[in-house]
C-alpha cells in the first residue's frame, strides 16, 4: 500500500533535515521513495510532486540544496521557516533577555 504524502509530511521531512535529525542522503532517499511509491494528496499533487522531485535531486552537485531553496519549498507547502540563534553550547531557549532591561534583572 502506497504512503499518502501531504504537505505536512513533506514539511516535516524537510524540517527534520534542517534540524539535523536526518542527513541529506536520508532526505533524498525519502524523496525518491515518495516519488516512486507515494500517493500524493490529490488537491496538493502538483506542488508536492514539484517540491519532492527537487528534494530528490538535492544530492546532485549541479542542484544542491540551499537555505533559500528550503525556505521556498516550505512556503510552497504552506509553512514558514524561522531561525533562532544561540551561543554555541547553550541550549536554544535557555537565554532570555528582556528589551530595555539589564541582563539578569527581573
Asked whether residue 20 carries a pLDDT value surpassing 70, the answer given is: yes
Q: What's the whole-model pTM score?
A: 0.77
Cβ-in-10-Å burial (0-12, 13-18, 19+) of 100 comes to: exposed
Do the strands 4-5 and 39-40 form a parallel or antiparallel pair, or are they unpaired?
Answer: parallel
For position 6, what pLDDT does the model report? 94
The per-residue pLDDT for range 81-106, each reduced to its tens digit, is 988 887 887 666 544 444 444 444 44
Distance from C-alpha of 66 to C-alpha of 58, rounded to nearest angstrom: 9
The per-residue pLDDT for range 36-91, each reduced to its tens digit, is 988 998 999 999 999 999 999 999 988 889 999 999 999 999 999 988 887 887 66
Three cell numbers, residue 70: 528550503
Amino acid at each position: 500500500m502506497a504512503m499518502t504524502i501531504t504537505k505536512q509530511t513533506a514539511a516535516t521531512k524537510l524540517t527534520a533535515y534542517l534540524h539535523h535529525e536526518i542527513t541529506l542522503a536520508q532526505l533524498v532517499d525519502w524523496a525518491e521513495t515518495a516519488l516512486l511509491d507515494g500517493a500524493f494528496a490529490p488537491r496538493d499533487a502538483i506542488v508536492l510532486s514539484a517540491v519532492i522531485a527537487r528534494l530528490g535531486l538535492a544530492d546532485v552537485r549541479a542542484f544542491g540544496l540551499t537555505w533559500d531553496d528550503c525556505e521556498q519549498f516550505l512556503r510552497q507547502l504552506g509553512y514558514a521557516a524561522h531561525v533562532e540563534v544561540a551561543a554555541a553550547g547553550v541550549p536554544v531557549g535557555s537565554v532570555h533577555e528582556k528589551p530595555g532591561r539589564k541582563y539578569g534583572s527581573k
